[in-house]
Amino acid sequence: MEQELFSRVVQEAEVLAKRVMGQWDSSHDAFHAFRVRDLALSLASEEHVSIPALQIVELTTLLHDIDDHKYVPRGNEEHETAEQFLVRCNVPAPMIHSITSIIHKMGFKEEVSGLFNPDQHTVEFKIVQDADRLDAIGAIGIARCFTFGGSRNCTIYDPSVQPRVNLTKDEYVKQEGKNISLNHFYEKLLKLKDLMKTEAGRRRAEGRHKFMEEFLKEFHGEWEGKL
């Protein structure tokens, strides 16, 4: 895409993210999209990707949660989808296909399904997915986890409710039973380090993962009155 058009679309995508995601809780607000964008561009520089790939990465990260089913009711005709936005902005069709394909397939629930094959996906896909997952772990990941849980009236912790293991896609999406924020670490967040697809992502994930492990150790110690 020509640089002038690309710059204009990026600016409009930023405005869209602020307008739509600004209404959501701060675990999935526009700052999340902007952090993921910055992370992804940083990873991309380490992976030495091309300029066209960088354009796909930047637009995808800005739009990746615009249609999040947790916040946007299905069938909401007033909501402009990521694809509709890109068409309106005259983004070339092949780029639209690349961006929407990444958005539709990058979620954790897709990997839980057992149908995910990283070898079938582009470097842009891997960078965007790694960046999104990096923002879900570490200090910011901890803050986001409890912010989202609080917005849904989840219990912080209940020792009588054990984390669910070996979840299917449907089980992960439905979230049946009592929702415990701390269990989300064991059901998803602690698994993300080993699901990174790029070398740069794996390096970044190590420190964030260790930070979460230390947090959980401290949490359980305080909960049990040992610390």
Query: Mean pLDDT for the chain?
Result: 92
In SS3 terms, 113-179 reads as CCCCCHHHCCHHHHHHHHHHHHCCCHHHHHHHHHHHHHHCCCECCCCCCCCCCCCCHHHHHHCCCCC
Q: Is a pLDDT exceeding 90 seen at residue 168?
A: no
Phi and psi at residue 64, to the nearest 5°: -65, -25
pLDDT per residue over 60-107, tens digit each? 999 999 999 999 987 778 899 999 999 999 999 999 999 999 999 998
What is the C-alpha separation between 190 and 112, in angstroms, rounded?
14
The CATH architecture that domain 3-223 belongs to is Orthogonal Bundle (1.10)
- What tokens does 159 get? 């020792």
**Which residue type does 139 have?**
A
Distances (CA, A) of 87 to 2, 80, 92, 94, 105: 16, 11, 8, 11, 20
pLDDT per residue over 127-155, tens digit each? 999 999 999 999 999 999 999 999 999 99
Q: Which of the four pLDDT bands, split at 50, 70 and 90, describes residue 111?
A: confident
pTM for the full model? 0.93
pLDDT number for residue 75: 76
Q: Which of the four pLDDT bands, split at 50, 70 and 90, describes residue 198?
A: very high
